[in-house]
Structure 1
Amino acid sequence: MSRNTAIKVSNLTHTVTSNTGNLTILKGINMEIKESESVAIVGSSGSGKSTLLGLLAGLDVNTSGEIFLYDNKFSSQTEEQRALVRGQYVGFVFQSFHLLPSLQAIENVMLPAELKGDKDARKKAEVLLEKVGLSHRLTHYPNQLSGGEQQRVAIARAFASNPKILFADEPTGNLDEENGNLIIKLLFDLNQSQGTTLVMVTHNNELAKMCDRQLVMSSGQLTEKKL
């Protein structure tokens, strides 16, 4: 049975203005990712991987080209419209966590489900925090947590809305080996049990090899790695 296309990118470019003039970070990228695929985006630091991930999730606006999440064309949408699409389809694990400092761990995890009107948001958040080994940290605030603990809260939050597409930027980058392995298992369990499309930026070669496909970013261009 053929799978629907979850993400489609056509001739994507992204240019930013710097002190030395315009800098083109992404150059004419084309890609397609099917539902329930797991895809790793690899490449050297500064090659544009995280920029691409943010554009795919609708967190920023590309300079030219087209990005589709299912049938939603981000390039023609307002920020409010993109936010609605993100709420419907997207979970995102940020490398820098982006937890809300005024909310406890459980409240941070509850937030996406609450925004969807889920009455079981608290119970689901408790289960997710237990899965990432933080059932003893429910009422702690981000500044009371280590970097690794904050990363695990951020991952639990990304799972809370049962996203159709989960974007993860270096999901194991702030974790020790034991907790990194725990998170890897969670990511692929979600991918396989719920058919969630998984797209991650990673420097972890072993994690990349576990994905269905690897895409290599180099000098702002994307190529498929032959496995």
Structure 2
Amino acid sequence: MNTPEVHIKAVNVAKSVKVTDGSLTILHDISLTINRGESVAIVGASGSGKSTLLSLLAGLDTPTQGEVFLGQQPLHRLSEDERAGIRAANVGFVFQSFLLLPSLTALENITLPAELAGVKDARSRGLDLLLQVGLSERADFFPAQLSGGEQQRVAIARAFITQPAVLFADEPSANLDAATGQKIEDLLFKLNAEQGTTLVLVTHNNELADRCQRQYQMQAGRFLDINTQGIADVG
């Protein structure tokens, strides 16, 4: 039997930030391993450290202590420019805050990562993704002309366009109605299944988390040691 290829690994990771009267520790001694092509949910209440952990795994931030690897790359040792290069080549993101560029249309926001990567059919890919997220008629709209749910769908299409090796998604369906949210979730797992994309989700949605192969549950910056089916035993 083939040994699974480790795609993402965190070893004894902690994250602290400076506050007025000293420092605040957001993450405590986090370790996890995610294999290539796996789907994993990180669940927990608001303020439990889920989004901070996602940022560290994606190389958007560095830990105060511990190690984070994406493939063979030690993200904790690399400069911001080096991490940015790795993200551009390998990673797609879906952020809660969308992070769309206000001066670009929906289609231009979607195609920008592909154009920067030199993808020749960026426009046709972008139009196809707009169709898949139900926004074909919004191609020439600017973010300010779109609802919050429509902006979220544009952000999701943008994350898909480079067919990333790993997709990080922070509450990907939180701003969507039930029917549209279901469509977007199906798209996430289609990418995971058909292209072998490693999928790492932060979510409050138990039904979405249950679709993943494994779950890590967080509380107060730590993993809970839960040993039930579908929940990772991290003890």
TM normalised by structure 2 equals 0.95
Q: Counterpart in 2 of 1:151?
A: 152
Q: Cα distance, 1:219 vs. partner? A: 1.3
- Following TM superposition, the consecutive aligned residue runs of length 4 or more in structure 1 with deviations greater than 2 angstroms are 223-226
Q: Counterpart in 2 of 1:31?
A: 32
Q: Cα distance, 1:224 vs. partner? A: 5.8
Q: Counterpart in 2 of 1:9?
A: 10
Q: Cα distance, 1:3 vs. partner? A: 2.3
Q: Counterpart in 1 of 2:58?
A: 57
Name the SS of the counterpart of 1:32 in structure 2.
strand
Q: Counterpart in 2 of 1:91?
A: 92
1:100 is aligned to 2:101: yes
Q: Is the 8 A contact 1:214 1:224 kept in 2?
A: no
Q: Indicate the RMSD between aligned Cα atoms, in angstroms.
A: 0.9
Q: Mark the runs of 5 or more structure 2 residues left unpaired by the alignment.
A: 230-235
Name the SS of the counterpart of 1:156 in structure 2.
helix
Q: Cα distance, 1:223 vs. partner? A: 3.7
CA distance in 1, matches of 2:19, 2:139: 42
CA distance in 2, matches of 1:163, 1:51: 21
Q: Mark the runs of 5 or more structure 1 residues left unpaired by the alignment.
A: none
Q: Is the 8 A contact 1:13 1:63 kept in 2?
A: yes
1:22 is aligned to 2:23: yes
Q: Percent identity?
A: 56
CA distance in 2, matches of 1:112, 1:222: 33
Q: Deviations over 1:106-128 (max 9, x none)?
A: 00000111111011111100001
Q: Cα distance, 1:75 vs. partner? A: 1.0
> 1:15 is matched by which residue type in structure 2?
S
Q: Counterpart in 2 of 1:132?
A: 133
- Aligned positions, number: 227
Q: Deviations over 1:35-84 (max 9, x none)?
A: 11100100111010000001111111211100000000011101100001
Q: Counterpart in 2 of 1:76?
A: 77
Q: Cα distance, 1:19 vs. partner? A: 2.6
Q: Counterpart in 2 of 1:170?
A: 171
1:187 is aligned to 2:179: no
Q: Counterpart in 1 of 2:204?
A: 203
CA distance in 1, matches of 2:22, 2:211: 40
TM normalised by structure 1 equals 0.98
